[in-house]
Structure 1
Amino acid sequence: MTSGSIADYFARYQVPADVITFVTRPVNHFIGGVEVDGETGRIDLIEPFTRARLTTMASGSEVEVDSAVAAARKALAGPWGRLPPLERQRLILRLAAAIEADTVFLSYLEAIGVGKSISDAQAIDVFGSVANLEYFAGWTSKLDGRTTSAVSLPGETFIYTVKEPVGVVAALVPWNFPLQTLVWKLGAALACGCTVVCKPSELTPLSAMRLAHLAADVGFPPGVINVVNGLGHVVGQALAAHPGIDKLTFTGSTPVGTAVGRTALGTMKRLTLELGGKSPVIVTAKANVRNAAQAILSGVFLNSGQVCDAGSRVYAHRNVYDELLQELKSGAECLPAGPGLDPRSRITPLVSTAHRARVLEHIGSAHREGASLVTGEPASTVEQRRDGILRPTIFGSCTEDMRIFREEIFGPVLGVSRFSEIDEAVERANSGEFGLAAAIYSDSVDETITLSRRLKAGNIYINAHGLLDPAMPFGGMNASGFGKDMGPEQLDSYLSTKSIYVQIGS
Structure 2
Amino acid sequence: MATPLNALVHEAQASGTLAGLPERHLINGAFVPALSGALMGTLDPGTGQAFASFAAGDAADVDAAVTAAQAALTGPWRALTPAQRGRLLYRVAALIRANADRLAVAETLDSGKRLAEAIGDVAGAAATFDYYAGACDKHQGDSIPLGDGYLAYTVHEPVGVTAHIIPWNYPLSSAARGIAPALAAGCTVVAKPAEQTPLTALMLARLCMDAGMPPGVCNVVTGTGAQAGAALVRHPGVHHISFTGSVATGIDVMQGAAPHITRLVLELGGKSPVLVLADCDIDKAVDNVLGGIFENAGQICSAGSRLVIDRRIHADFVERLVARARAMTVGHGLRNADMGAVNSRAHLDKIAGYVDRARARGVAVLCGGRPTADPVTGRGWFYEPTILDGLAPDDEAVQQEIFGPVLCVQVFDDIDEAVALANGTDFGLVAGIFTRDFAAAHRLARQVDAGQVYINEYFAGGVSVPFGGNKRSGFGREKGMEALRSYSKLKSVAARI
Correspondences of 1:470-485 after superposition (within 5 Å): 470-485=463-478
Q: Does 1:89 align with 2:86?
A: yes
Q: Secondary structure at the match of 2:411?
A: strand
Q: 2:324 maps to which residue?
A: 331
Q: Distance in 2 between matches of 1:325 and 1:162?
A: 53
Query: 1:216–1:222: 8 Å Cα contact kept in structure 2?
Result: yes
Query: 1:175–1:204: 8 Å Cα contact kept in structure 2?
Result: yes
1:39 CA drift (Å): 3.1
What residue identity is the alignment partner of 1:497?
Answer: L
Return the match for 1:272 from 259, 265, 272.
Answer: 265
Q: Does 1:140 align with 2:133?
A: no
Q: Distance in 2 between matches of 1:372 and 1:269?
A: 46
If the length of structure 2 is used for normalisation, what is the TM-score? Answer: 0.94
Query: 1:117–1:340: 8 Å Cα contact kept in structure 2?
Result: yes
Q: Distance in 1 between matches of 2:332 and 2:93?
A: 28
1:378 CA drift (Å): 5.4
Q: 2:39 maps to which residue?
A: 42
The gaps in structure 1 that reach 5 residues or longer are 1-9
What residue identity is the alignment partner of 1:120?
Answer: E
Detail structure 1 runs of 4+ shifted over 6 Å in the superposition: 16-19
1:11 CA drift (Å): 7.6
1:380 CA drift (Å): 12
Deviations 1:190-242 (CA, angstroms, capped at 9, x unpaired): 11111000000000011011111111111111011100111112222111111
Query: 2:12–2:18: 8 Å Cα contact kept in structure 1?
Result: no
Q: 1:348 maps to which residue?
A: 340
Q: Secondary structure at the match of 2:382?
A: coil
Change (3 A) 1:179 1:380: closer
Q: 1:236 maps to which residue?
A: 229
Correspondences of 1:279-290 after superposition (within 5 Å): 279-290=272-283
Q: Distance in 2 between matches of 1:479 and 1:461?
A: 20
Correspondences of 1:206-285 after superposition (within 5 Å): 206-285=199-278
1:17 CA drift (Å): 8.5
Q: Secondary structure at the match of 1:248?
A: strand
Q: Does 1:115 align with 2:116?
A: no
1:502 CA drift (Å): 2.2
If the length of structure 1 is used for normalisation, what is the TM-score? Answer: 0.92
Q: 1:164 maps to which residue?
A: 157
Q: 1:362 maps to which residue?
A: 354
Change (3 A) 1:15 1:137: farther
Q: Secondary structure at the match of 1:471?
A: coil
Number of residue pairs the alignment of both structures matches: 486
Deviations 1:285-338 (CA, angstroms, capped at 9, x unpaired): 112222211110000000000000111111111110000110100111222211
Over aligned residue pairs, what C-alpha RMSD do you find?
2.1
Return the match for 1:57 from 54, 58, 76.
Answer: 54
The gaps in structure 2 that reach 5 residues or longer are 1-7
Deviations 1:466-492 (CA, angstroms, capped at 9, x unpaired): 224111101011000001111111111
1:493 CA drift (Å): 1.2
Q: 1:6 maps to which residue?
A: none
Change (3 A) 1:378 1:260: closer
Q: Distance in 2 between matches of 1:312 and 1:288?
A: 20
Query: 2:352–2:371: 8 Å Cα contact kept in structure 1?
Result: no
1:19 CA drift (Å): 6.8
Q: Secondary structure at the match of 2:427?
A: coil
Query: 2:161–2:237: 8 Å Cα contact kept in structure 1?
Result: yes
Correspondences of 1:367-378 after superposition (within 5 Å): 367-377=359-369
What residue identity is the alignment partner of 1:145?
Answer: G
Query: 2:271–2:303: 8 Å Cα contact kept in structure 1?
Result: yes
Higher mean Cα deviation, 91-100 or 440-449? 440-449
Q: 1:70 maps to which residue?
A: 67
Q: Secondary structure at the match of 1:226?
A: strand
Q: Secondary structure at the match of 2:383?
A: coil
Deviations 1:88-110 (CA, angstroms, capped at 9, x unpaired): 01100000000011110111011
What residue identity is the alignment partner of 2:79?
Answer: R
Return the match for 1:192 from 173, 185, 195.
Answer: 185
1:13 CA drift (Å): 6.8
Q: 2:5 maps to which residue?
A: none
Q: 1:432 maps to which residue?
A: 425
Q: 2:4 maps to which residue?
A: none
Query: 1:364–1:379: 8 Å Cα contact kept in structure 2?
Result: no
Q: 2:19 maps to which residue?
A: 21
Percent of aligned pairs with the same residue? 38
Q: 2:196 maps to which residue?
A: 203
Change (3 A) 1:14 1:110: closer
1:159 CA drift (Å): 2.1
Change (3 A) 1:360 1:378: closer
Query: 2:9–2:105: 8 Å Cα contact kept in structure 1?
Result: no
Q: Distance in 2 between matches of 1:99 and 1:290?
A: 36
Q: Secondary structure at the match of 1:319?
A: helix
Q: Distance in 2 between matches of 1:427 and 1:104?
A: 45
Query: 1:278–1:313: 8 Å Cα contact kept in structure 2?
Result: yes
Query: 1:439–1:465: 8 Å Cα contact kept in structure 2?
Result: yes
Query: 2:128–2:177: 8 Å Cα contact kept in structure 1?
Result: yes
Query: 1:131–1:470: 8 Å Cα contact kept in structure 2?
Result: yes
What residue identity is the alignment partner of 2:421?
Answer: R
Q: 2:484 maps to which residue?
A: 491
Q: Does 1:447 align with 2:440?
A: yes
Change (3 A) 1:251 1:148: same
1:354 CA drift (Å): 0.7
Q: Distance in 1 between matches of 2:334 and 2:197?
A: 16
1:398 CA drift (Å): 1.0
Q: 2:168 maps to which residue?
A: 175
Q: Distance in 1 between matches of 2:128 and 2:390?
A: 40
Q: Secondary structure at the match of 1:395?
A: strand
Change (3 A) 1:439 1:42: same
